[in-house]
Homo-oligomer: A and B are copies of this chain.
Amino acid sequence: MDFLQQLGPVALGSRLRRMSEYFTSEAAGIYADYGLDFQPRWYPVFYLVAHRPGISSNEIADQIGHTHASVSQIVKELVRNGLLAMTTDPQDQRRRLMTLTEQGQAVLPQLRAQTDDVRRSMQALLTEADANLWQALDRLEGQLQQRNLRSRVARVRELREQSPVQLRDFRPGDQPIFRQLNEEWISTYFTLEAADLKALDHPEEYILAPGGGILLAEVNGQVVGTCALIKMADGGYELAKMAVAPAAQGQQIGYLLGQAAIQRARDLGSRRVYLESNSKLAPALALYRKLGFQDLAQPLASPYARANVQMELRLN
């Protein structure tokens, strides 16, 4: 379930559904406890008819927010169980008017007592949980009414696609540019080491195959930035090979790559992202801090001579 914390609509939908099922089944149990031969789904219809005798099918559907088909089915069951009576409206032969039968009237006080107990419990529950679920749902519904999720996503997509900077995964053939961009900056400050060459010359073998990932940033179809996630022995990921072409700097490309990499690590089920850097690289360190990384107290062993700063970011 962990990896679904991503808050996709599917995940949220699924969770709401399960919650809904929980309440439905609890409701059934509660009715049983009160010795009522009464289906939870009847409740809204029955209650509405009790309070507004002579109401029609369609009105009920409107009021309780179901479709008329649903109401039609529930009414059928209620009639079959002798709780509801249905008559045709003499003024309008299409309309069916509902009233409680005597048996229905007899059930009402019990239902009221039960409803009252349940209401109290629910109120206590929600107060206790300090979970203003009802209000949260209200707000969410309000927002969605103003603009639905689909068009919200469409807007986000448009923004992403209009952006001059496009992120994508490493594809076969990207190795030369991947190497070039990294070699460029490393050799500016340091000298290439053996560990560098292994990863830069054979990224698919040393980074992707063990379960890592490489993200590239493109501007006008030109790769101008790279960033890799290397799987670590403890299940975490190391953020490495972060490089942005000098000409493309100042466009937040490093930040975008970093964010995407962190999200990818989350997707891959990791709880932490680790990285190594050097105190000489002030702008890089500032970027890592902005991404949420914090200095690591106890240093780990590193294959890189230039690594004198270690940071990590804990996820969730």
Chain A contact residues, CB within 8 Å of chain B: 1-4, 6-24, 26-27, 29-30, 33-34, 40-41, 43-44, 47-48, 51-52, 63-66, 109, 112-126, 128-144, 148-150, 152-157, 160, 168-169, 260, 263, 267-269
Contacts and interface: CB of A to CB of B under 8 A. Distances in A.
A132 B132 CA distance: 8
Contacts of A40: 9-10, 13
Contacts of A139: 129-131
Given A1-B63, A24-B10, A126 B140 contact: yes
13 contacts: A3-B51, A12-B122, A13-B22, A13-B24, A30-B153, A51-B268, A118-B156, A120-B156, A124-B156, A128-B143, A129-B136, A130-B139, A132-B136
Contacts of A33: 150, 153-154, 157
Contact of A11 (B44, B123, B155): B44
A23 B10 CA distance: 7
Contacts of A268: 51
A3 B48 contact: yes
State the majority secondary structure of interface residues on A: helix
A102 to B, nearest CB: 14
A153 B118 CA distance: 6
Given A169-B109, A268-B51, A10 B44 contact: yes
Given A26-B149, A267-B51, A268-B51, A125 B143 contact: yes
Given A51-B3, A136-B133, A14 B10 contact: no
A13 B7 contact: no
A12 B140 contact: no
B7 A150 contact: no
B19 A16 contact: yes
Contacts of A34: 157
A117 B153 contact: yes
Nearest to A62: B1
A18 B156 CA distance: 25
A13 B301 CA distance: 53
Given A6-B115, A143-B125, A168-B109, A30 B137 contact: no
A152 B125 contact: yes
A116 B48 CA distance: 44
Contacts of A125: 140, 143-144, 149, 152
